[in-house]
Amino acid sequence: MDGACPLPLDEYPVVLLAHGGGGRLMQRLLDGLILPTLGVCAGQSLHDAARLDELLTGAAGRLAFTTDSYVVRPLFFPGGDIGTLAVCGTVNDLAMAGARARALSVSLILEEGLPMHTLWQVLSSLRQTAEAAGVRIVTGDTKVVERGRADGVYINTAGIGAVPAGVSIHPGRVRAGDAVLVSGDIGRHGIAVMARREGLQFETTIESDCQPLWPAVAAMLDAGLDLHCLRDPTRGGLASALVEIARQAGVDVLLDEAAVPVAPPVAAACELLGFDPLHVACEGRLVAFVPAAQAQAALDLLRSAPGGEQAARIGTVRGPGGQVTLRSRYGIDRSLDMPAGELLPRIC
């Protein structure tokens, strides 16, 4: 990380409960660290609510709105941190509705004792990722809770995005014959976080796939592709995303196991831990349902987007129903379901 924490660390090296008290100390935290690190310009006085007219002027069509909370442990993992996630997760949720993120709120829940330097690192990631995603942070909130009542930092972000005119992306538009695409190899994020959390050493460091997805979506929209449905397979992984869409759209999906891209280190880690890569979380991948005739064009665009080299066509919508079927490498079909609950390492 370039630069240094702007708050004099010798004075307050860690977050204190008093930093959340609404008094001078809190003002100092906001003015000295949070706002400048997030890139909120000096003199841009924060009101109780942000006005968005300017940001949204010229955004023809409709608005999209979403919110999500980020509670990842550890805060830092190969390929990202909670700040990267808190921006990517929300702008990606907007992108999955075809919306370009315009404005973001950031709400921080800090644990007493959190090193100020750690907070600064997280805020710096938040800002860099927001800049990369082309979204402005316009409002926020900060609370401090007692030591032991949080894992360092929890972040909630909410985002408003603009859906370009004529764009309509939702499960109801999925049709029989649609091609199912994935924008890259799956499962990196879940394994990267778990490996760091549990102190597991693999031969290759597995980096999270965490990244903003709007550039890939924009490229496909700009090319005039008719995206029927998009979904980012986060918790629950690719399997849950597909099962959810199949149910919502009332269609049967046939998934080709051999076509699903999984990086060899991720596959090896899954094997060791007893996980199915189809159930492991991604944070920078999308699943796209597009008309079969546009599948190749969409794939070409996905493959030229950052991190999209492994984009692949992984399945086809067969017809009405609501089930996802996985065709194994040996030609055997089996039904695919969401995982039952928390992913837990197996016993032997």
Partner 1 sequence: MSSADYRDPATVRRLLDAIAGTVSRPWTLMEICGGQTHAILRAGIDRLLPPQVTLVHGPGCPVCVTPVGVIDQAIALAGRPGVTLCSFGDMLRVPGSRTDLLAARAAGGDVRAVYSPLDAVAIAGREPGREVVFFAVGFETTAPAAAAAVRQAQALGLANFSLLCAQVRVPPAMAAILAAPDCRIQGFLAAGHVCTVMGLAEYAPLVERFAVPIVITGFEPVDILTGVLHCLRQLEAGQARLENAYARAARTEGNPAAQALVGEVFEFVARDWRGLSELPDSGLGLRASYADFDAVRRFGLVQTPPPDPGECRAGEVLQGRLRPDLCPAFGSRCTPQRPLGAPMVSSEGACAAYYRYRGQAA
Handedness of CA 267, 269, 272, 276 (dihedral sign): negative
The single residue among 131, 222, 271, 309 that binds partner 1, judged by CB under 8 A, is 271
Minimum distance from CB of 333 to partner 1 (Å)? Answer: 8
> Helix (H, G, I), strand (E, B), or coil: what is residue 162?
strand
Minimum distance from CB of 233 to partner 1 (Å)? Answer: 18
Length of the chain: 348
Residue 251 has φ and ψ, to the nearest 5°, of: -125, 160
Q: What residues numbered 306-335 form the site for partner 1, per CB under 8 A? A: 323, 328-330, 332-335
146 binds partner 1 (CB under 8 A): no
Q: What residues numbered 48-67 form the site for partner 1, per CB under 8 A? A: none
47 binds partner 1 (CB under 8 A): no
The single residue among 131, 141, 222, 337 that binds partner 1, judged by CB under 8 A, is 337
**34-52: string of b/e by CB count within 10 Å (b at 16+)?**
bbbbbbbeeeeeeeeebeb
Q: What residues numbered 183-202 form the site for partner 1, per CB under 8 A? A: 198, 200
DSSP 40: P
22 binds partner 1 (CB under 8 A): no
Nearest to 103 by CA among 122, 68, 127, 130: 130
Minimum distance from CB of 174 to partner 1 (Å)? Answer: 21
203 binds partner 1 (CB under 8 A): no
107 binds partner 1 (CB under 8 A): no
Angle between helices 188-197 and 264-273 (to 10 degrees): 60
Determine the Cα–Cα distance for residues 253 and 329; give it in Å rounded to an integer. Answer: 17
Total residues in contact with partner 1, by rule CB under 8 A: 22
Applying CB under 8 A, which residues contact partner 1? 198, 200, 268, 271, 274, 323, 328-330, 332-335, 337, 340-342, 344-348
